[in-house]
Structure 1
Amino acid sequence: MSRKRRLTGEAALEAAFTRTDHAPLLAAWGVELSDDMLRLALTHRSFANENGNLPNNERLEFLGDAVLGLSVAEQLYRQFPDRSESDISKMRAGVVNMYALADVARELGMGDHLLLGRGEMMTGGSDKHSIIADSVEAMLGAIYLEKGFDVARATVLRIFERRITTAPSTGLTMDWKTVLLERLSDLRMSVDPVYESEADGPAHDQTFHATVSFDGAVKGRGDGHTKKEAEHHAAREAYRALS
């Protein structure tokens, strides 16, 4: 009995894409996209690389990042006229950081629709902060190309409305490493948090992964584009676990 031949290239892409009904995803976004554009927006580089270096969604992500940043910045500028430039800059960071985007991706169900390579699928790539956060930007890039900036901006404002409204309380970020130390002191825990980090990816586009440990166990994990950012998120997770 002959072994079934594994599909590769465009055939593998089409088979993987049509295996899932994407209508619920488009309904969650509130837009219509062509199959070609949606397929590209959902194609992670891990899938593309495993199947003959197909086009992936990174270029769309680049566009979407710009659309998202401008749309949120303009809305914050208009919605909070009494806030300083420094404040609205921090507020924007609170709305569009990787963790916020990952939360949006989970609300929209992005992970169920992404086309991932086998390695990423085996290691939980459909729920990795960085991967699903990037997929939100890729979708925005696709919407921008097919529908134009006005529709893309309206999509951002609809999906991020709650986060923009609460930006003054969540975007003016806290120093979580200091907050964690203060919490440990409040709990009379005589321990010193230990931070460890590692990086992956090319030198020009690295992602840092950090952990914070005390009491002999890892208490928080975080990712970021810098070591400082990754440790910041790890400390925040540890603080929330203590709280």
Structure 2
Amino acid sequence: MKTPDELCQKLGYQFKDESLLAMAITHRSFSANNNERIEFLGDSLLNMIIAEALYKRFPNLREGELSRIRALLVSGKTLAELANEFNLGVFLRLGAGEKNTGGHRRNSTLADAVEALIGAIYLESGFDVCRERVLSWFEARIAVLNPESSHKDAKTRLQEFLQARKLPLPDYQLLDTEGADHQQTFIVSCSVSLLKSTISASGSSRRKAEQAAAEKVLIALKDTE
């Protein structure tokens, strides 16, 4: 059985008040004392933190472009991807009905829980610690942002990067599949001619694992420029 400490390790933050952590991962189907209010707080904090990060990173972008990029970063899809990186679904406290219908894999439930965790960290340790944790979670995604193509996914951006340099397309290989059939984790490698070693990543589907691997390759390529 998964323990709170395992989740804290994945988050990079150790909760002193376990009741606060418990609230953040409790769905309304489980208890009246759930994460809805704290998720509301976390949503506002996330928007503020990401807005500030984008404002500093792109000093020449207009308000509309900054808003568009922020919307992509704080979208339910991105937050659910982040939740899967934390393996958050296995820690969620769900009512029997919600659990039986796959609530621990539902994007909206996962995204809400990430926002609730942000709110919980803020309540326990204040804004500076909260901002540091959020930025560490989003660091890789922010590092590879390109305002010209921020609406495109990582695989598309990597393909265009290589095509612009007339280089071979990336090679994705499925390395392993772990877990039960209803909750598998896929491990995929991505290799490109510009890098000496392959890069691997995991995800709750092969497509998501490939996207995560492409994102890592883009970061590695950025470091070589």
TM over 0.5: yes
Residues in 2 aligned to 1:139 and 1:57: alpha-carbon distance in whole angstroms: 9
Alignment partner, residue 5 of structure 1 = none
What aligned pairs does 1:23-62 form with structure 2 within 5 A after superposition?
23-33=5-15, 34-48=17-31, 54-62=32-40
- Overall identity of the aligned pairs, in %: 43
**Counterpart in the other structure of 1:217:** none
Q: TM-score, normalised by structure 1?
A: 0.60
User: For 1:197-222, what per-residue CA distance to the aligned partner results, in whole angstroms no more than 9, with x for missing partners?
Assistant: xxxxxxxxxxxxxxxxxxxxxxxxxx
Structure whose CA Rg is larger: 1
C-alpha spacing 1:171/1:102, structure 2 compared with 1 (3 Å):
farther
1:214-233 pair list within 5 angstroms: none
Q: 1:165 to 1:114 in 2, by over 3 A?
A: same
Contact 2:65 2:147 in 1 (8 A): no
Alpha-carbon distance, 1:45 to partner: 0.2
Q: Distance in 2 between matches of 1:144 and 1:71?
A: 12
Q: Structure 1 runs of 4+ off > 2 angstroms?
A: 165-174
Q: TM-score, normalised by structure 2?
A: 0.64
Query: Could you tell me which residue of structure 2 aligns to residue 73 of structure 1?
Result: 51
Query: Does 2:125 correspond to 1:135?
Result: no
**Aligned partner letter, 2:57:** Q
Q: Unaligned stretches of 5+ in structure 1?
A: 1-18, 49-53, 175-239
How many aligned positions are there?
A: 153
1:33-59 CA-to-partner distances (Å, cap 9, x unmatched) read: 1111011111100111xxxxx311001
Give the direction of change, closer, same or farther, for the CA distance of 1:119–1:166 in structure 2 (3 Å limit).
Answer: same
Cross-structure match for 1:154: 132
Deviation at 1:164, TM superposition (A): 1.7
Q: AA paired with 1:26?
A: C
Whole-Å separation in 2 of the counterparts to 1:70 and 1:167: 18
1:173 is displaced (CA, Å) by 3.3
Question: 5 Å matches for 1:46-195?
Answer: 46-48=29-31, 54-168=32-146, 172-173=150-151
Correspondence for 2:2: 20
CA RMSD of the aligned region, Å? 2.0
Compared CA separation, residues 156 and 35, structure 1 to 2 (3 A): same
* Corresponding residue SS for 1:83: coil
With over 3 angstroms needed to count, the CA separation of the structure-2 counterparts of 1:80 and 1:169, relative to structure 1, is: closer
